[in-house]
Each structure stands twice: as structure tokens, then as C-alpha cells.
């Protein structure tokens, strides 16, 4: 409800974003329209465009900003970039469901999904070129490179249970936090903020993005009845995330669950045994403390900018992420 309430408060700006998103993804090819409609019917919380617009508002974007303002196209481009990565991720992970709906690869096929992700990425780069802001072009280009590096680094460590916390942070910084940092910096850039303020928003977004991914990794170990999401997907995909990294530092636990993790295939009992061990021995709480520290960092950074209703909205998002 928090995100819904915030979006309602800035409804004129969100409507401009929605129009810009439609403009970016429009095509005369029926298959593209069909796939895009399917994705839009099961879209997520639109956190990234919301962060972009709120950051711009903190830097002076008015509530009655013209629909032609470049911030809306930029927000739409960033969300389309995110969608592109999700479509590709579902192919890599051989996922059948996302947000409770069939994935593009499961409804059509892997080739179609890869090409659709490529189409989205191409539209993103054209949109950013059309906006023609050298700072924006630079940070988007760098983000695409870093996100690709993050995904490849995660693939490199797939099934490796000796990964350390610093490597984990490097992975999530590149694959997740970078785009959230770019959202916040983009808002500041296109609201003509000074460089120092731009960097403040980037730092805020980076801490928020790291916490966001930590939160997602913690949720994977929680009851699906509590979160509404499937449990143990990261374990099934042989991703060693923060809760498991922390647990495996304990030699007794390491010796107990490693034989389960390196099996050629997992049973539900194997997955549940790993989750129970990590949960009962307190490692979820340790992971949650690390997540909360990042959110506190984000809040501290945010406190350095002038107080406005939009800054309060960003603080509300921080508080929302704490609720797990």
C-alpha cells in the first residue's frame, strides 16, 4: 500500500511515465505487442521509475511537469532495461513463472524470449540517445556493462559454496544495486541538480539497491505463506546468497548441509533441511541486520538533502523495505 499511496500522490507524473513507457515499447509487430501486453499485465511494483521521479522531484521537478520532460522517457527506459534483464534471466534460470504468471520463455520459447529481451534493450539505447544528455548516456552505458558483469560473475560462482561475503557484495552491487543507483542519479541529472547532489542520490540508490537485493535473498528463506513467494529458489538454482554464506562459515553447519548442496539433484526435503538449518541457527537475523545497516546508511545519506514531501516519500520506501 505504501508504494500505491506514493504513486497516487504524484499521479500526474506517473501518468506521464506510463505514456512514455508505451511510446518506447510500441511496435507494429503483433508478436511484440502480444508479449509486451502479457508482461505489462503482470508488471511489478514499478519501484525504479518511482525512484527516478521522486529523486527528480527532490531536485525541483514540479508536479505539473510537462509530459515531454525527458525524465519520463528516462524512467521508462530504465524500467524497460530492467524488464529486458528479467526476460533474459528467466531463460538463463529456465524459469516457468515470474510474479505468479507464465514467463515469456515458457509461453513462447527461449529464442523468442531472448529476441524480445534484445528488442527491449535496443529500444532503451535508442531512447537514451534521443534524450541526448551526455551524463545520462554515460551512466546508462556503464550500468549495462556492470549488470552484464554481475550476471556473469554470478554464473561463475553458481554451485560454488566457498564464495565469500565480499564477492557476494560485488555481485549484487553490479547486478541489482547499480540500476537503482542509476535511477536516483538520473532523476537528479534531468532535474539539473549540481554534481554533488547527483552523487548524493547515486550513493543513496546504491545503499538502497544493496539492501533491496539482500532483502530478496532473505525472503527466499522465509515461509511462502508469509511472503507470497516460493521458497528455496536460490538453493535450487545453486546460488549461494547472504544467509547461506553466513551459515557456511560455521564448520558444524558447513559439514551438515554441504553434502545436501552438492548433490546432483535436490529433493524438497533437502531444500527444507537447508532452510531449517539456516533459519533456526539465527543466520537470517544476522543477514537482516546487515540489510538494516544498509537501509540506515541510505537514510543517513538522504538526510543530507533538503527536507521535502518527496524526501519523506523516499524515507517511506526505506521503512517499507525494513518490513520482513
Task: Express each pLDDT in 298-310 by its tens digit.
Answer: 999 999 999 999 9
Q: Grade residue 225 by pLDDT with cuts at 50, 70 and 90.
A: very low
Spatial distance between the Cα atoms of 21 and 82, rounded to a whole number of angstroms = 12
Distance CA 227, CA 223 (A): 6
Cβ-based burial of 124 (10 A; exposed 0-12, middle 13-18, buried ≥19)? buried
Distance from the first to the final alpha carbon of the chain:
15
Q: Please, which residues have CB within 8 angstroms of residue 143's CB and are 6 or more apart in sequence?
A: 81, 178, 179, 182
Backbone angles phi, psi at 113, to 5 degrees: -65, -45
Given the C-alpha cell 501518468, which residue does it identify? 15
Domain containing 40: what range? 2-321
pLDDT at 145 over 70: yes
Half-sphere exposure (CA, 13 Å, Cβ side) for 46?
26
What grid cell was written down for 202?
547515486
Mean pLDDT (whole number) for 277-293:
95
Mean pLDDT of 183-202: 98
- Give the pTM: 0.94
pLDDT of 281 reads 86
Predicted confidence (pLDDT) at residue 100 exceeds the cutoff of 90: no
Strand, coil or helix: 138: helix
Q: Are 274 and 257 in contact (CB under 8 A)?
A: yes
Rounded to the nearest angstrom, the gap between the alpha carbon of residue 251 and the centroid of all alpha carbons in its chain is 33
**pLDDT band, residue 227 (cuts 50/70/90):** very low
Which CATH number characterizes residue 217's domain? Answer: 1.10.600.10
At 44, the pLDDT band (50, 70, 90 cuts) reads confident
Q: Check: CB of residue 218 under 8 Å from CB of residue 243.
A: yes
Distance CA 71, CA 188 (A): 9
Q: Say what the pLDDT of residue 60 is.
A: 96
pLDDT at position 19: 96
Q: What angle do CA 57, 60, 61 make, to 5 degrees?
A: 55
What pLDDT is recorded for position 229? 56
Domain count, the chain: 1
Buried b (16+ CB within 10 A) or exposed e, 168-184: bbebbbbbbbbbbbbbb
How many other C-beta atoms can be found within 10 angstroms of the C-beta atom of residue 311? 17
Q: In this model, does residue 230 exceed pLDDT 80?
A: no
Across 14-42, average pLDDT: 92
Amino acid at each position: 500500500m505504501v508504494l500505491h499511496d506514493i504513486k497516487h500522490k504524484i499521479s500526474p507524473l506517473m501518468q506521464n511515465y506510463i505514456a512514455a513507457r508505451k511510446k518506447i515499447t510500441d511496435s507494429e509487430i503483433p508478436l511484440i505487442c502480444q508479449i509486451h501486453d502479457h508482461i505489462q499485465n503482470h508488471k511489478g511494483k514499478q519501484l525504479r521509475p518511482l525512484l527516478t521521479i521522486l529523486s527528480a522531484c527532490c531536485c525541483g521537478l514540479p508536479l505539473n511537469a510537462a509530459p515531454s520532460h525527458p525524465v519520463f522517457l528516462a524512467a521508462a527506459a530504465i524500467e524497460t532495461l530492467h524488464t529486458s534483464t528479467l526476460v533474459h534471466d528467466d531463460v538463463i534460470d529456465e524459469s516457468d513463472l515470474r510474479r505468479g504468471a507464465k514467463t515469456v520463455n515458457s509461453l513462447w520459447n527461449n529464442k523468442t524470449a531472448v529476441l524480445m529481451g534484445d528488442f527491449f534493450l535496443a529500444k532503451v539505447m535508442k531512447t537514451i540517445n534521443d534524450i541526448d544528455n551526455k551524463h545520462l548516456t554515460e551512466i546508462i552505458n556503464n550500468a549495462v556493462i556492470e549488470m552484464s558483469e554481475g550476471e556473469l560473475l554470478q554464473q561463475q560462482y553458481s554451485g560454488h559454496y566457498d564464495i565469500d561475503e565480499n564477492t557476494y557484495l560485488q555481485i549484487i552491487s553490479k547486478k541489482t544495486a547499480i540500476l537503482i543507483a542509476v535511477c536516483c542519479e538520473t532523476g537528479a541529472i534531468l532535474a539539473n541538480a549540481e554534481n554533488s547532489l547527483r552523487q548524493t542520490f547515486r550513493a543513496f540508490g546504491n545503499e538502497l539497491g544493496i539492501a533491496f537485493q539482500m532483502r530478496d535473498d532473505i525472503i527466499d528463506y522465509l515461509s511462502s505463506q508469509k511472503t507470497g513467494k516460493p521458497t528455496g529458489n536460490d538453493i535450487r538454482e545453486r546460488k549461494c546468497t547472504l544467509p547461506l554464506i553466513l551459515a557456511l562459515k560455521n564448520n558444524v553447519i558447513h559439514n551438515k548441509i554441504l553434502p545436501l548442496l552438492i548433490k546432483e539433484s535436490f529433493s524438497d526435503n533437502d531444500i527444507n533441511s537447508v532452510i531449517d538449518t539456516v533459519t533456526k541457527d539465527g543466520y537470517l537475523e544476522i543477514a537482516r541486520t546487515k540489510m538494516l545497516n544498509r537501509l540506515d546508511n541510505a537514510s543517513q545519506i538522504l538526510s543530507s538533502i533538503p527536507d521535502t514531501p518527496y524526501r519523506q516519500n523516499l524515507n517511506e520506501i526505506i521503512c517499507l523495505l525494513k518490513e520482513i
